[in-house]
Structure 1
C-alpha cells in the first residue's frame, strides 16, 4: 500500500510538467487525483497515463471562480473530501519595469496570486482533518533576475501565503507548506530554449533568460551547483513528501528543489 492509499488529491496545472509528474506520483502512492488545467487534450493524455481508476480531469482556469467551483463540485461528488491540494498552476511572462504593462501585471497576478487564493479558499469546506496543502512558489522569489519582476513578486506572495495560511489552518490539523523549484526540465523550459519567451506557461523554467542570445540547457545546468537541471519527477518527490505523514511535523516551510541554485 502507498502512503496515500484511499486519499483524494487535487493538482492544478496537472496536464504537463511538474503538475503531471506530481499527479502521477500521488496516484502511485494510492491517491485518487483530480487534475485541472486549461488544455483538455493534455488532461486527457494525463488521465490515460495515470489510469482512469486513479485520475479524474476537470478542465478549467484557476483565475475563473466558476471553473474552480466545477472542479470542487466534482471532488465533492466523490464523497470523500480532500486530503491533498497541490496548488501548482501558474502563468509566466516576462518584462522589465520599463516594459511592463497593465495587462502583463494583471495577467501574472490574476493567475498566480488571485487564482491561488481562491484555489485554496474554495477547497476549505472539503479539506479533511490532517489534510496537506502545498503551494508552488519559486527560487525566483528570492533574487532579482532582470525582467522577472511581476513573476517573482507573485511567487514571493505565494511563499507569504504559505506562512499565513499555515497559521490560520493549523487548528484544523491542516498543514500548509510551499515548494520552490529551480530550473526544471519541463515543456516550459523547452519553450524558453527555443523562443526565449513563455507566455502563460503552466511550468515556469526558473532561471531562464528572456533577452539576448539563445540559451541552451547546458548553460542552465552550468548555473546549478549539482551541474544539471532538475527533473519534474524530483519535484514530484518533494510534493509526495509534503503530502504524506512523513512530513507530519513540517508546517509553514518552504522546501527548495533547486540543486543548490539558491543555496550555495
Structure 2
C-alpha cells in the first residue's frame, strides 16, 4: 500500500543528493512531487532529467523573492499541499579566524533564513494533518573544528521544530527534524573533500561507512507519512551512530 497516496509534497533542494533520493521515494509512494533547484543551471539540468517525474521549480531559498514565487506557483497549480521536506541547504567549513562576514551570511541566509521563510510561507498552504520535515545535521549536536558557522545554522533548524511544535496545533501540522550524519552525496565533492577523506570520515562512525542518500530518504518518508503519527517536535538522528557514541 502506498504511504503517500493522493498527497502533494514539496522537496526543496530536490535536484540532487538526499533531496533527490527523497523525491524519488515520495513519488514511488504515491505522492505528486514538486522539487526545487537553486541556480538556472541546476534547474535546467533537473528539468531535462526529471521533468517527467516531478514539477521542477527554480528557487534559491536564500532569496525571499524566489520563495514567494515558489509558493505562488504552488498556490496557483495545487491550491494546498500536504508535505514539506525543507531540505535545501549548503555546507562550509572554515577556521573561526578565517571566517568572513560574507561566508557567515551565505550560510545563515540559506540554512536559517531561507528555511525559516520557506516554512513560514508554506504554512498557510498546508492541509490539515500535514507533515513538515526539516533537514538539520549531526553537527548540531557535536562540535568539530572549523564547523562553528555550519553547526550553528543546523542547531537553529533543530530549535525551529521545537518552537513551531509549541506554536501550531499538532493536529494541523507535525514538525520533525531529520539529522543525517556523514552521507555520500555530491556535497563532499563541492567541499573538495578527497575520496581518502571521505573514507576516513565513514570509518569513524560506529557503522564504519558513509550513509547513503537512499537511507536518508527512508527516514524522511517515515517522518512525512502516518507511520510517525505520534512523533512530534522530534529529531531523528540518522547518522550511523556518529553522534550517539
Normalised to the residue count of structure 2, the TM-score between the two structures is: 0.94
**1:165 is matched with which residue?**
164
Q: Does 1:154 align with 2:135?
A: no
SS of corresponding position for 2:98: coil
Tell me the SS of whatever aligns to 2:169: helix
Contact preservation (8 Å) 2:170, 2:232: no
Instruction: Check the 8 A contact 2:37/2:46 in 1, yes or no.
Output: no
| Cα deviation code 1:202-240 (max 9, x no counterpart) | xxxxxxxxxxx9843321221011111100000000111
CA RMSD of aligned residues (A): 1.8
The 5-angstrom pairing of residues 1-264 of structure 1 reads 1-46=1-46, 52=52, 54-192=53-191, 195-196=192-193, 215-264=196-245
Runs of at least 5 residues in structure 1 that lack an aligned partner in the other structure: 197-212
- The answer to whether the Cα contact below 8 Å between 1:224 and 1:260 also exists between their aligned partners in 2 is yes
3-state SS in 2 of match to 1:35 = strand
Report the alpha carbon displacement of residue 101 of structure 1 after superposing the two structures with TM: 1.1
Per the TM alignment, residue 77 of structure 1 is displaced from its structure 2 partner at its CA by: 1.8
SS in structure 2 of the partner of residue 135 of structure 1: strand
**Do the aligned residues in 2 keep the contact of 1:176 with 1:251 (CA within 8 Å)?**
yes
Aligned CA distance change for structure 1 residues 214 and 78 (closer, same or farther; 3 Å): closer
Which stretches in structure 2 are left out of the alignment for 5+ residues? none
Contact 2:74–2:80 (8 Å) recurs in 1: yes
Alignment CA distance shift 1:236-1:48 (3 Å)? farther
